[in-house]
């Protein structure tokens, strides 16, 4: 059926249950960008189901709530919740607003309905298989359909299923942010919970160091002092006291990560978290942090 154009109260509209269940919300930067466009963004209808689930337009709905708007123009589709989720994922697969990990996580919510559809197809074909069992070929078909809907490879679907079953929240958060690849997340999922936390902390620290080095190099080569300000350099008069304080702090703690990087010159970089910890232990003057 063709969608119906209707004016619906904002209070009746909501995000898809799968988006809510997995805590996928509209990024703040996207809301800010929409706000800059002004009134024109509300002239185009958002797409919803008859029950008020948003298929396309969650950012506009969120902005409408912030602006206390009473109604929105909507294209109303006669979709089930599952069909609405398929439509959402197919759009996301082309726009890449959600990364591959997020899309697979959402698509896996369709597993049960896809299995039921596969069983229905078997019965229709006269195979008469028990409802509680699927052959290996049938499972691969379901996995392939999930991959197709999410716009990913079947191998990544298998990896994400393993990841969701075993990773700690800190690892999952970085996968959702896109700072960790599915392949790396899958490797971490094979470790113990404590080792996962240590490894994700090391990886994030490594990324932070690399980013800081890039800023320093860019500032040095192009003399962009605005970039250099992002990495506060300690005056020579404070360096000895700072290093002595950090050394005293780290001698009694095993949670401080120490690494070596291959860059020219004499350079020691300290994380803001470490400097703050030293300051809180009264080993460092407050003005040095």
Neighbours of 180 (CB within 10 A): 23
Domain boundary among 78, 96, 114: 96
144 lies in some domain: no
Domain count, the chain: 2
Can you read off the two tokens belonging to residue 279? 């300051």
What's the pLDDT score for residue 286? Answer: 47
Question: Is pLDDT larger for residue 223 or for residue 252?
Answer: 252
Domain boundary among 80, 96, 112: 96
Can you read off the two tokens belonging to residue 75? 């294209």
Q: What is the pLDDT of residues 96-123, one digit of tens each?
A: 789 999 999 999 999 998 888 877 777 7
What's the pLDDT score for residue 6? Answer: 94
Q: What is the pLDDT of residues 231-261, one digit of tens each?
A: 666 777 777 887 788 777 777 765 676 766 6
With a CB cutoff of 8 Å and minimum separation 6, the contacts of 119 are 129, 131, 134
125 lies in some domain: no
Domain boundary among 96, 115, 139: 96
What CATH code is carried by the domain that includes residue 5? 3.90.1530
Torsion of CA 81, 83, 87, 92, to 10 degrees: 60
What's the pLDDT score for residue 141? Answer: 82
Question: Is pLDDT larger for residue 113 or for residue 266?
Answer: 113
Full domain range(s) for residue 243: 232-289
What's the pLDDT band for 274 if we cut at 50, 70, 90?
Answer: confident
What's the pLDDT score for residue 253? Answer: 66
9 lies in some domain: yes
């Amino acid at each position: 059926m063709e969608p119906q154009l209707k004016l619906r109260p904002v209070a009746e509209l909501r995000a898809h249950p799968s988006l809510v269940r997995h805590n996928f919300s509209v990024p703040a930067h996207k809301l800010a960008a929409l706000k800059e466009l002004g009134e024109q963004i509300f002239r185009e209808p958002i797409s919803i189901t008859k029950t008020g689930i948003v298929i396309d337009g969650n950012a506009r709905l969120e902005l409408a709530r912030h602006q206390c708007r009473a109604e929105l123009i909507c294209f109303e589709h006669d979709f089930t919740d599952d069909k609405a989720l398929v439509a959402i994922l197919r759009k996301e697969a082309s726009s890449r607003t959600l990364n591959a990990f997020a899309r697979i996580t959402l698509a896996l919510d369709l597993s049960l309905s896809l299995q039921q559809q596969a069983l229905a197809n078997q019965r229709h074909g006269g195979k008469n298989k028990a409802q509680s069992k699927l052959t290996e070929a049938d499972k691969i078909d379901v996995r392939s359909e999930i991959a197709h809907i999410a716009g990913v490879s079947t191998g990544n679907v298998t990896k994400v299923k393993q990841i969701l079953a075993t990773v700690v929240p800190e690892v999952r958060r970085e996968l959702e942010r896109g700072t960790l690849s599915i392949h790396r997340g899958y490797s971490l999922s094979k470790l113990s919970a404590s080792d996962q936390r240590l490894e994700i902390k090391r990886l994030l620290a490594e990324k932070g160091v690399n980013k800081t080095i890039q800023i320093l190099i860019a500032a040095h080569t192009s003399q962009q002092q605005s970039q250099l300000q992002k990495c506060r350099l300690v005056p020579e008069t404070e360096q000895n006291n700072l290093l002595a304080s950090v050394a005293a702090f780290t001698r009694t703690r095993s949670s401080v990560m120490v690494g070596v990087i291959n860059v020219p010159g004499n350079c020691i970089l300290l994380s803001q978290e470490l400097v703050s910890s030293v300051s809180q232990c009264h080993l460092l003057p407050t003005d040095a942090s």
